[in-house]
Amino acid sequence: MRLVPRLIMFLAIPALLLAVPWWVLVGAPATGTAFWLGTAVFVLGFVALPVGMLLGHGRAHVDAASMVGDTLLGVTWVLFTWSVLGLLAQGVLAAVGVADPGRSRGVAIGVLAVSAALVVWGVIEARRVPRVRTVEVRIPGLGAGLDGLRLVVVTDTHFAALNRLRWSERVVEAVNAQRPDIACHAGDLADGPVDRRRSQVDPLGKVEAELGRFYITGNHEYFGDAAGWIEHMRSLGWQPLRNQHEILTRGGDRLVLAGIDDPTGVSLAGHGPDLSTALAGTDPDLPVVLLAHQPKQVAEAAKAGVALQISGHTHGGQIWPFHYLVRLDQPVVAGLSRHGERTQLYTSRGTGFWGPQLRVFAPSEITVLVLRPAR
């Protein structure tokens, strides 16, 4: 019986997402054969969307199903968003005296055209090699020897059913072109088990960074094979930071680089974030850079006096206007922000994408954080 509310929610969400565009594109403007054909398409979508998501992202990890479900989810979200705006447009047009059926049909054509254009553009944006975003961050107590330290961040690669081996290789080329002193992967490496995704991840072994390559878990590792991915990244020469730190030295000056597990890790024995353990034994006079997958982990980081937290998780919303919903769960969606007296947070929009291969008004990024001493 406890599954009944979850099942109702699982079906209610696609029903709502599809009902609004059905009304705007079919219910209001269509008649006769067009009405019934359009309705049949939406009913098919209502069945295929939850089935595809369940089979694709459940324990079975059926890749073909995930590609169908993910694509339907992305297209449905775009149609829903612009159909809501279409309803507002209908109200305005009705107020100025535009009559039906012309009003409804004109809005339907507009919604369909805009949605189709955004889906095509969103696919191109999602599959491109991310733009490089360079941000200078002033760090109190950073020694002169570390001035200009280049910390290159990739995160939320989400290697999954769609084979992105060539994309992975090009991302590595882009990262190496930035001449990183430190390379970081801030979690959500892949969706699925190591034996099915490792070929897409393996190019990360060619990333070059003089002071080291470091990796933390995201929430999606804990939806699959977290222990396997931790060991696989270790085998590629990346050091997992599981509630631990490293002291990095350049030019005679030192920096603490720490990493903590994602909060989802509490579902697995021996996992889960523990900042006090991660910072145990560190010199309180040294600046701390913390890798923590979710931005909301900054609350604890600020209490501990961390200088800079680096996070991902949000994807910048990925498909507009989903960032408004993300903001309900996270303090920041993207960019550099300040928390408390001493702590800064950089939230990446992510290097890849989850689920729908769409990015609409939320471009992906490879981030270069250039550390500078505070003025």
pTM higher than 0.85:
yes
Do residues 38 and 144 both lie within one domain? Answer: no
Range of the domain at 181: 131-373
Supply the DSSP symbol for 319. Answer: B
**Amino acid code (one letter) for 364:** S
Q: What is the pLDDT of residue 61?
A: 80
Q: What are phi and psi of 260, to 5 degrees?
A: -130, 155
Do residues 68 and 160 both lie within one domain? Answer: no
Nearest residue to 73 (alpha-carbon basis) of 158, 167, 10, 163: 10
Supply the DSSP symbol for 241. Answer: -
Do residues 179 and 49 both lie within one domain? Answer: no
- Locate tokens 């590595």: which residue? 172
Q: Which residues on adjacent β-strands are paired with residue 246?
A: 257
CA 16 to chain centre: 24
Nearest residue to 272 (alpha-carbon basis) of 256, 293, 288, 289: 293
Q: State the Cα–Cα distance between residues 216 and 256, nearest whole angstrom.
A: 15
Task: Provide the domain count of the chain.
Answer: 2
Do residues 90 and 223 both lie within one domain? Answer: no
Do residues 116 and 191 both lie within one domain? Answer: no
Do residues 351 and 260 both lie within one domain? Answer: yes
Produce one character per residue of 125-142: b if its CB has 16 or more CB atoms within 10 Å, e if not: bbbeebeebeeebebeeb
CA 12 to chain centre: 24
Q: State the Cα–Cα distance between residues 312 and 149, nearest whole angstrom.
A: 20
CATH number, domain with residue 352: 3.60.21.10
Do residues 252 and 354 both lie within one domain? Answer: yes
User: In degrees, to the nearest 5, what angle opens at C-alpha 164 toward C-alphas 182 and 124?
Assistant: 100
Final residue in a domain of this structure, among 99, 127, 155: 127
- Locate tokens 């209610």: which residue? 12
Q: State the Cα–Cα distance between residues 320 and 327, nearest whole angstrom.
A: 12
Q: What is the pLDDT of residue 354?
A: 96
For the chain, what is the total number of helices (H) and then of strands (E)? 10, 12
Do residues 226 and 366 both lie within one domain? Answer: yes
User: Helices (DSSP H) in 97-236: which residue ranges?
Assistant: 102-127, 165-177, 194-201, 226-235
Q: Which residues of the chain have pLDDT under 70?
A: 1-4
Q: How far apart are the first and last CA of the chain?
A: 61
Do residues 221 and 354 both lie within one domain? Answer: yes
Q: Which residues on adjacent β-strands are paired with residue 253?
A: 250
Q: What is the pLDDT of residue 4?
A: 67
Do residues 82 and 198 both lie within one domain? Answer: no
Final residue in a domain of this structure, among 98, 127, 156: 127
CB 56, CB 62: distance < 8 Å: yes
Q: Which residues on adjacent β-strands are paired with residue 371?
A: 137, 149
Do residues 139 and 17 both lie within one domain? Answer: no
Do residues 109 and 198 both lie within one domain? Answer: no
Final residue in a domain of this structure, among 73, 94, 127: 127
Q: What are phi and psi of 335, to 5 degrees?
A: 95, -175
